[in-house]
Amino acid sequence: MIRHLTTGLLAATAFTIAGAAVAQDANVTGTVNVIGFSGVFAENYETFIISAFEEQYPGIDVVYQPSRNSAETLALLTLQKGDPTVDVALIDVAVGIRAAQEGLTAALDPNVVTNLAETPDWARIEGDRSIAFSQDNLAILYSTNTVTEPPTSWNDLKDPKYAGRIAARLADTRGVILIPILNKMAGADYKETIDPAIAAMNEFAPNVLTWDPAPDCYAVVQSGEVDLSICWNGRAQYLHDTQDGVIGIAAPVEGSIGQTNTINLIEGSRNAEAAQLFINYALSAEAQATFAEKSFYGPVNSTVELTDEVAQRIYGSKEAQDAQMTLDWPFIATVYSDWIQRINREVIAFN
Amino acid sequence: MADKHVIVEQLVKTYPGSGAPSVDHVDFDLEKGEMLALLGPSGCGKTTILRMVAGLITPTSGRIRLDGRDMAEIPVHKRNMGMVFQSYALFPHMSVAENVAFGLEMRGVPKAERAARVERALDLVKLRGYGERRITQLSGGQQQRCAIARSLVIEPQLLLLDEPLSNLDAKLRDEMREEIRDIQARTGVTAIFVTHDQDEALSMADRLAVMSAGRIEQIGTPRQIFDRPATEFVANFIGAGNFLTGTVVEPHQANVPGLGMVVFGLDAPLGKDVRLLVRPHRFTLNGKGENAFEGVVRHLVYRGDTLTLDVDVKDRTFLVDLPTHAGTLPERGDRVTLTVARDDVTVIGTAA
Amino acid sequence: MTTSDRKGNRGILLLLLLPGLLALGVSFVAPLLWLLRASFSTSALGGADGSWTLANYADVVLDPFYWRVAGNTLNYGLTVAAFAVVLSYPIALFLARTTSRWRGVLTALAIAPLLTSGVVRTYGWMVILGDQGVINGTLQALSLIQTPIRLSNNFLGATIAMIEILMPYAILAMLSGFGRLNTQLEEAAAMLGANRLKVFWRIILPLSLPGVITAALLVFVLAISGFVTPRLMGGGRVFVLGTEVFQEATVTLNLPLAAALAMLLLVLFSSVIVIYRRALRALEA
């Protein structure tokens, strides 16, 4: 009883403190224009992040505008440089780094964006000009109709039984992420050489039916055109739940890396104050935990505690969870196109 | 009959879906070296006949024989006939000489001989030295000559000409008429040509077949056709005419109501109604004797070499063509007497 | 006609041309100039900066990979053009010569595929040529083959689909280029002793050649500039300039390099058009 009372009091106090902070910030009004990914991401983000934020900050209106891809977002931001209509952009980390370097994005104020304190160093990019907020793991999708024994390792891609049965779009971020994974399996450091990874790719290359699955890497599994597809976890989990479980997701024991999404305050934003409040919310443990549960994107906030079930669906087995890697994204940005070129020329082209 | 060069017997062409035949039981034949004109208004079937003879259209029934050989089973490219198309149908991607040589090439004539024969053919049509020209560099008349040379160089057993002069202007047309006639005479080729122009037919052909609605109305020499038209259609189609209807009351005399007695030279059965034809230029003015009709000049047109009059005689009007001369010519309102010799009054339908 | 009249007419003509010229200038010339400018500058965020450099061209010209891609593109364009023309020719010839009253309907039918986008038709071909596609499915059902024959996700598939997609263009180009065909010329040739084969070789073929060449050029140009079909049907293996431009522009975000590659493609076009004009002049001379 007393324990309960204490808990209640503590909770009440916490609420009061939080309430005071909210009350103070709640005076802020304005519109935050957010541009970001489209599709299911957009739906989830609007439903679980934006709505929750707007409830806490009735004076702020958040408008979400989906963009086809980060390159297009970047083009738009470049076009609007100096006089942006966009306040916050959600973009791929590679694009985020370039945008930050070009001064298209602004450094965040740690006093406003207090949740930066809970954000790990690797995620605070270019002096807080670009902040990683979620990660979508690279995984091997398999068709539950044709594959009886789900793959467990990246090495399974080399299994001759999958000859002509693999879809692998590697000439983009997927390939760039796979390189450090395969490199680590070979015991090499991606900052020194990627030859082992290229060699590993060439080992499973003969199994690949298409290097450019159409319409995308999920549909070819759903349709049975291939057995395995190297693809992103988040959307695959969603499709697994909504499309009769045809798509199975294997998170290899060697661990994986997430395609990292960043949140960025646009330089010259006319609603910078409201925008930073929104970013702070987006980086909060609450928002990240919710988004992880709803969309199976890995959280970045270090205080988020995921349930076993959610962790399993994002990262795979305990072993895989322990093997999960992060990348030095600014370094990756410098080698991004070179790596893609090497994959194109040494693995895919004319083979 | 069997020794005729070309024999066309009971030729019929009915196009599917059309009721009346386009060519309806047509017979004619040609002697070797003869030139026959198929004359008639457009749509009368004359071109269809020509194309059937050429083998470009298959007859519905009937026979076409060339030198005694039935053409039915012989495909176009083996008929050895020359054809001059209305549009000339010269091959635009070949030179004049190449056009002319084409038929020889198809016959496997050796190159040297081919060149010599092309040369001769171009000479014949007065196109010497034009061999290397492109077709587009030729005038209409030159294209015509080239087309003739091309069709003659293969020494065809029969030359077919489809409205060969219709694409030329009037002056060139007269020239080419002579030319074609001359070339035909010199080569001795048997020829059939199609035309809707009576002058062309009369001046070029040995014989004419006048056609109407798929049938041959009359076939004969230009003179026969002109002076002895077998039908009123023929009389009307070839030249102008004044038509009278009368009853034969005595040999060579018919009573034409409202005009009186008209004397004619031909035999006609007594008591029968006849249609009489007087060509406008067969009248003479103020002559004496039989067939004199008094009238008033109502209208006249001076045409240079002729004077065309409308002369009201009683309740009818005669069309009269008079040769002009330096003396006094009739004027409007003049009273005149028209006379016509009995031999110039034709009884329609008495032709052989 | 007096001189002032003629001047007036020219004024009206210019006035009539103005909207078209403006539209062309805005939608074609200006972007092309921008592209040209971009190809001489350094890659910057979302585009190109204002610097001047030949580095992009050096990258392209000195890289044997791009020569292979260019060679592959040429090969792709020529293969597609050759087959599209050969397959379209009989159809176009039939449509040009037929006197059937269904001619209009048949012509519409032949070019009706243009009503659906090339992307949609490419997906159609994926269904037909895929490992589980109609052809492999039928052959397997008939036990003629055990494992599927690779008909898509490679150069072959990209070529087959492109040929079919471009055939309506070839047919249209041929129909418009068959103006000199004329049945009377064929009849004249027959009268002169040419059998059907000779009529074809000596008359129909030479006279239809301008249409054939125009069609070949059009198909070639469309084929080498295409990237959707090579990408979708090529399984990522078909590297042509179109796909490379797309890759550089949207994945690697190196717009100036993409621009330089596009210029290379343009040079390829221009040289082909020069050859085409020469050929046409030679034919008509």
Once rounded to an integer, what is the mean pLDDT over residues A30-55?
Answer: 93
**B287 pLDDT exceeds 80?**
no
Quote the tokens at residue C269.
Answer: 């076009």
- Those chains having 3 or more beta-carbon pairs within 8 angstroms of chain C are A, B
Q: Compare all CA atoms of chain C with the CA of A214 and give the residue at the minimum distance.
A: C232
Asked if C208 contacts C174 with a C-beta cutoff of 8 angstroms, the reply is yes
**C211 contacts in B (CB within 8 Å)?**
none
Q: Is A225 on the interface with C (CB under 8 A)?
A: yes
Give chain A's length. 351
Half-sphere exposure of A180 (CA within 13 A, CB side): 23
Share of chain B above pLDDT 70, in %: 99
Encode pLDDT of B116-131 as tens digits. 999 999 988 888 889 8
State the pLDDT at residue C3: 54
Q: What is the pTM of this model?
A: 0.80
Give yes or no for a contact between C262 and C245, defined as CB atoms under 8 angstroms apart: yes
Question: Which subunits sit against A, judged by 3+ Cβ pairs under 8 A?
Answer: C
Q: What is the pLDDT of residues A234-248, one digit of tens each?
A: 999 999 999 999 999
Alpha-carbon distance of B201 to B185, in angstroms, equals 16
- Chain B residues closer than 8 Å to C182 by CB: 87, 89
Q: What percent of chain A has pLDDT over 70?
A: 92
Asked which of A26-40, A106-120, A316-330 is least confident by mean pLDDT, the reply is A26-40
- pLDDT reported for residue B326: 79
Residue from C43, C128, C237 whose CB has the most chain A CBs within 10 Å, to mutate: C237
C123 interaction partners in chain A (CB closer than 8 Å): 214-215
Weakly modelled stretches of chain C, pLDDT under 50: 1
**CA separation for the pair A268, A89 (Å, rounded):** 13
Burial class (CB within 10 angstroms; exposed 0-12, middle 13-18, buried 19+) of A330: middle
- Under 8 Å between Cβ of A99 and A89: yes
Q: How far is CA A38 from CA A64, A170, A279, B64, C281, in A?
A: 10, 21, 19, 80, 53
Are B191 and B36 a contacting pair, CB within 8 Å?
yes
User: A163 to chain C: nearest residue by CA?
Assistant: C147
Checking if the pLDDT of B71 tops 80, the result is yes
For residue B241, give both structure tokens. 């005419």
> Which residue of chain C is at minimal alpha-carbon distance from A211?
C236
Report the alpha-carbon distance of residue B27 to residue B9 in Å, rounded. Answer: 5
Tens of pLDDT, residue by residue over B170-201, are: 888 888 888 888 888 888 899 999 998 888 88
Interface TM-score (ipTM) > 0.85: no
Structure-token pair, residue A8: 């209640």
A129 interaction partners in chain C (CB closer than 8 Å): none
CB C188 within 8 A of CB B106: no
- pLDDT for A5 equals 42
Give the homologous superfamily in CATH for domain B6-232.
Answer: P-loop containing nucleotide triphosphate hydrolases (3.40.50.300)
d(CA A159, CA A161): 5
* pLDDT at residue C50, rounded to an integer: 76
* CB-CB neighbors (< 8 A) of A349 in chain C: 65, 68, 237, 239
C abuts A (3+ Cβ pairs < 8 Å): yes
CATH class of A137-257+315-350: alpha beta
- The residues spanned by each domain of chain A are 29-135+259-309, 137-257+315-350
Task: Confirm if A339 and C250 have CB atoms less than 8 A apart.
Answer: no
Residue A13 predicted with pLDDT over 60: no
Among A260, A261, A278, A262, smallest CA distance to A33 is for A278
Distance of CA B229 to the CA centre of its chain: 13
DSSP string, B206-275: SEEEEEETTEEEEEE-HHHHHHS-SSHHHHHHSS--EEEEEEEEETTEEEETTTEEEE-SS---TT-EEE
Which whole number is the average pLDDT over A207-217? 91
Give the separation between CA A296 and CA A251, rounded to whole angstroms. Answer: 13
> Could you tell me if B117 and B125 are in contact, meaning their C-beta atoms sit under 8 angstroms apart?
no
> Which residues on adjacent β-strands are paired with residue B207?
B36
Q: Which residue has the tokens 């209509």?
A: A85
Are A29-135+259-309 and A137-257+315-350 in the same CATH fold?
A: yes
What is the set of domains in chain C, with CATH numbers?
64-284 (1.10.3720.10)
A209 touches chain C (CB under 8 A): yes
CATH superfamily of B240-348: Nucleic acid-binding proteins (2.40.50.140)
Q: φ, ψ for residue B209 (rounded to 5)?
A: -115, 115
- Among chain B residues, the shortest Cα distance to C195 is held by B77
Contacts of A210 in chain C (CB under 8 A): 153, 235-236
> What is the domain partition of chain B in residue ranges?
6-232, 240-348
Token pair belonging to A261: 């999404």
Shortest alpha-carbon distance between residue B90 and chain C (Å): 7
pLDDT at B352: 41
**pLDDT per position as a tens digit, A274-298:** 999 999 999 999 999 999 999 999 9
**Can you tell me the distance from the alpha carbon of B337 to that of A258, in angstroms, rounded to the nearest whole number?**
121
What is the pLDDT averaged over residues A171-199? 95
Average pLDDT value for chain B: 88
Cα–Cα distance, B90 to B87 (Å, whole number): 8
Partner residue opposite B93 with nearest CB, options C187, C194, C206: C206
For C188, which of B80, B83, B93 is closest by C-beta distance? B83
pLDDT value, residue A11: 45
pLDDT given at position A18: 44
- The average pLDDT across A318-331 equals 93
Q: What is the pLDDT of residues B44-67, one digit of tens each?
A: 889 999 999 999 999 999 999 998
Whether residues B106 and C182 touch (CB distance < 8 A) is answered with: no
Residue B341 has pLDDT above 90, yes or no: no
Superfamily of domain A29-135+259-309 in CATH is: Periplasmic binding protein-like II (3.40.190.10)
- What pLDDT was estimated at residue A152? 95
Which whole number is the average pLDDT over A23-48?
85
Greatest pairwise CA separation for chain C in angstroms = 81
pLDDT(A3) > 80: no
